Amino acid sequence: MAGQDETSQWPFDRYQDYLLLLARLQLGPRLRGKVDPSDLVQETLLKACQKKDQFRGHTDAELKAWLRKIMANTLVDAVRKHAKGIEKAGQEIALEDTLEKVGTRLEAWLAADQSSPSQTIERQERFSRLAAALAQLPEDQRTALELQHLQGCSVEAISQHMGRSKSAIGGLLRRGLKRLRELLEDSGT
């Protein structure tokens, strides 16, 4: 794909796991009962297909940023629909900023100090495989890993959030990381 517009074929489906991860990370516990993260992803991808003529970027990173923006708007719409009093502009901006931070944190998790074009392409491929591998983990392991590594939560905070002991969370994290490594090795990372 080198030397060619990376978005020329509009392979939106390859971003499904990435967007699903963002949606899961952003939906609070109260909204999860009302809004399915998979529905948000499908709506985001539908909007992206409908608006693809508005995309002005040329790289995978620009496409991800554009999809994050559409996801943020989709989330705001869902929040407006299902939560009373959330329509304040400041809260919408905060949600969009949070999505951007999560996306950046996710990419930084893999990034280290790589900066050459070939390393950037490799990092983006690893990022896509990471999102796909996380999607394959059992929900409790995935949740624990996402909370710790992607949202920066302590084991104690995860314990409170998930209603489990700290030692149980430690076990989930160990098993989840082990399985995640296996999945990433199997996918060539």
Q: How is the chain split into domains, by residue range?
A: 7-119, 137-189
CA distance 24 to 146: 9
Q: For the domain covering 137-189, report its CATH number.
A: 1.10.10.10
For residues 161 and 56, give the distance between their C-alpha atoms in angstroms, rounded to a whole number. 40
Buried b or exposed e, range 77-114, using 16+ CB within 10 angstroms:
ebbeeeeeeeeeeeebeebbebbeebbeebbeebbeee
* Residue 121: burial class (beta carbons within 10 Å; 0-12, 13-18, 19+): middle
Tell me phi and psi for residue 53, to 5 degrees: -70, -15
Helix segments in 36-165, DSSP class H:
37-50, 60-82, 89-111, 117-136, 139-145, 155-162
pLDDT score, position 95: 61
Compute the distance between CA of residue 176 and CA of residue 91 in angstroms, rounded to an integer: 33
Would you state the pLDDT for residue 86? Answer: 45
The residues, any chain, with a CB within 8 Å of residue 102's CB and separated by 6 or more, are: 22, 25, 26, 150, 151
pTM over 0.75: no
> pLDDT for 34-73, tens place per residue?
788 889 999 999 999 898 888 888 887 788 888 888 988 8
Residues of the chain with pLDDT under 70: 1-10, 28-33, 82-121, 123-124, 188-189
CB 6 within 8 A of CB 60: yes
Question: Considering only CA atoms, which of 103, 90, 100, 84 is closest in space to residue 15?
Answer: 103
* pLDDT at residue 6, rounded to an integer: 44
Show the tokens assigned to 125.
């491929």
Give the pLDDT of residue 94: 59
